[in-house]
Structure 1
Amino acid sequence: MNAPRPGLRPLDDALADLLSQARPLAGVEHVPTFEADGRVLAHDLVSALQVPPQDNSSMDGYAVRCAEIADEGVALPVSQRIPAGSEAHPLAPGSVARIFTGAPVPAGADAIVMQEDVQALEDGRARILRVPSAGQWIRRSGEDITRGAVVLRAGERLGPAATGLAAAIGLAVLPVARRPRVALFSTGDELVMPGEVPPEAMRPGAIYNSNRFFLRSLLLRLGCEVRDLGIVPDQREATLQALATAARDNDLILTSGGVSVGEEDHIKPAVQQLGRLDLWQIAMKPGKPFAYGRVGEAHFIGLPGNPVSSFVTFVLLVRPFLLALMGASETAPAAWQLPAHFDWPRPDRRREFLRARRDAEGGLVLFPNQSSGVLTSVAWADGLIDNPGGQAIARGDRVRFLPLAELLA
C-alpha cells in the first residue's frame, strides 16, 4: 500500500521553517556610502556630532532679539550679514543681523523674522513688520541627531534617505553584510534561450526560458552576486556536476522546475545524492511545490516551473530567506488594505495570491486570467492580493495587498 501523501503546509509555517535555516553570512564588507544603497548594515552607526552642529536659520531673513521688538514697525540697524557656512558674531544690542537659510544664529538672537516680514530701508536699517515669537524659524542644535545617538541600527536595509543620514554624520564608508552568492541554473531539454532559435524554427515541445531572466533580475535587485550556470542538460551526471560546482563557492543554489512530488527528473535524486532535500507542498496558489535542502555548505531551493508560481514563491519565500542571510532585521513585505473593485465568488481552498493593480478610484482590479502559466499577469500587475484559503471576495471588501514596488525593491 502506498504511504499517504502528506497534507499541504501553511505558507507561514513553511516560511518560518525556511527562515530557521538562514543563518546570517559571516564577513563584513566596507563600502563607500555612495555605493551602499540596498545593502544591509552590519553594525550600528553612532553619531560623533550634533546635527545641526549649532542653532541655524531655517529661513532667509533677519536674526533679532524679541525683547527689542515689542510692536510692529520697529526699525533697527543691520549690524552684520551672515551667509550659510560663515561665522556669526554675537548680535550687538539694538540691532538685527541679515541671515540666510542654514547660517548659524548669532549669540543673543532668539528668533528669525522671514524677509517677507521685513522692509529694508535706504539708511541701512530694517523695519520689522510683524512681531516675532521666541524661537521662530530657528533649527536647534541636535534637533535632528544628538551626539552619541544610534542613527541607524545593524540589520537595516539601507535606502537613499539612510545613506544620506550616514553622510550627515560624516561617514564616507559603511560596514555592510556580505552579498549572498547565488548559483542559478535551469534544467530541461525543452528549454531554449531567446536568440538561439527564432520562433518559427522552434521544435515541438520547446519553450523559451523566461524564468531564468526574471529570477536573475530579482536576485540582482536584492543585491546578490549571481553566478548564472545556464541550462544544464537533462542528464544525471551533468546535473550532479552542476550541483557540485555550484556548491563549492556559493551560498545558495536556486533552480526552477522539477520539484513536484513524484515527478521524474534529475534534480531530486542528484540533490539527495550530494546532500539532503525536503519536498514541501505548500497551501498556496500559485506555487504549491517547493523544495529546500543542502548541497555541501550551500543552501538549495527548488522553485516550481510555471513562471507565475516561480515568481510568487520567490518573492514570498526566497526574498525573505536571502534578506535573513544578509542579517536584515525586517524580512516581511509591507501590506496595504485596499477595496476590491471586483467579485471573486469561487475561491480556492489554498491561500491565493491574485495578480491585481490599482484603478483610478484607488481600488483593485484583477487580471482576467489568473493561471500560473500566464506571466502576462505579473507584468501587468502592480501587486498581489493575499487572499485566505476559501475566502470569497465581494466588490467593496477590503483585501490585503502586497505592492510589487515593495517586493521588487
Structure 2
Amino acid sequence: MLQQLLSKSELTLAERLCKIHEEIRQLHPELCRVAIAVYDEERDNLKTFAHSTDGSSPISFYEARLSEAKSLQELANSSQTRIIDDLSQISGDNFHSQKLLESGYLSSMTQPIQFNGKLYGFLFFNSPVKGFFSDLRHATIKAYAGVISLLLINELQTLNTFKGAVQTAREFSRFRDEETGNHLERMSRYARLIARDLAPKHYKEDDWVEYVFQFSPLHDVGKVAVPDDILLKPGKLSPEEFEHMKDHVTKGVEIITMMNNEFGLNSLNFFETLYNIVAYHHECLNGKGYPYGLEGEEIPIEARICTVADVFDALTSRRPYKNAWTNEDAFEYLQSQAGKQLDPDCVTSLISHSERIKSIQAEFVEDYMG
C-alpha cells in the first residue's frame, strides 16, 4: 500500500500523511495523531503545516520562533528523536504540551526533519496512552517517519524551486515599479493573517495558509511584460494605457503556466493556489473587476484574500504620486468597499488584526520605493 501511495502524485502531502497514518494505525491503533511543522530559517519560525488526527487537531494555524522553543532547538542540534512517556509531567507553561493534554494526549514522539544539514521542520506523533512509544513501536513508527520526512522535503524543495523561478521573473519588474521589497513582505503577511482566519470556513488546512503566504507576493508577476512608459508613468493612466496595464494579469498567467510546464510540475497541488492568486486578484465581488468579470463566490478565496491585503498596503504606503494613508483611514475605505469590490470576511479579518498590522509595518518599514 505504501508504494502505491507514494506513486499517487495527485494527492496532497496532507492527504498522503493521512493515508500513512491509517497504515500505521493498522499496527498501532492507539497512535491517534501525526503532525508536521515546517521551519522558516529566514524568520526563525516554526509553523503548523499538515496533520492527521483522530478528532479535531489540538494545534492548528499556529507559529512560534524556534529560538523560543529550547527543547526543539536541542533536538534539531542533536538530530535525535525525543520521547515523552507522560506529558502531564511537563511544565504547565508549555503551550504545545498544554494543548495536547487538553485533547487527551499523554505521550509523544518528536523527530526533526533534516536533509544535508538543513532543518525542514519537525514530526510529532501522539497517543492518549502513557508510555506508548516502546522500543518496538518506536522502531516501527520511525521507519514511517522517514517516509513522511522525505515527502515533506520533496514538497518543500519543489515549492522553493518553483517559487524561485517565478520570483526571478518577478525580480525583473521589481526594479521597474513601486511595488517592491517591503510592500511584498507586508502584503504577504497580511494575506496570511486573513487566510488563517478564513481557512476553517472554507475547509482549508495549514498547508493552504502557507501557500497563500508564499505565493501572494507573486500576484503581479505579469508586470514584467508591461512597457516602461505605462508601468513607470507617475500620473493617472489614460483609458488606453489602463487597458495595456490590465494585460499584466493574463501575461502573469502565461508566465507561471509556461514555468510550470517547463519544470514538469503539472501535478503539483499547490500550483492551483498560485494560479488563482495570479489570475484573479483584480476581480471584484460586484463583477466590475478584470480580466474575467467574475462575481462573488466565482472568485477563488485565495484571490479575494490577496486583493484585500494588496489594497490595504497600497493605501498605507507612500508612493511618488501620493502620501501614505493612516491605517484607520485605510480600514474605513476597506469597509466602504466590503461587498462591492472587496470580500467582507477578508476585510473584517484584516481589521481585527490592527495591532499585528502595526508590528508588521514596524518590521518592514517603508522606504521611498515601498
Q: Name the structure with the higher strand share.
A: 1
Q: Name the structure with the higher helix share.
A: 2
What is the TM-score normalised by the length of structure 2? 0.26
Larger radius of gyration: 1
What is the TM-score normalised by the length of structure 1? 0.24
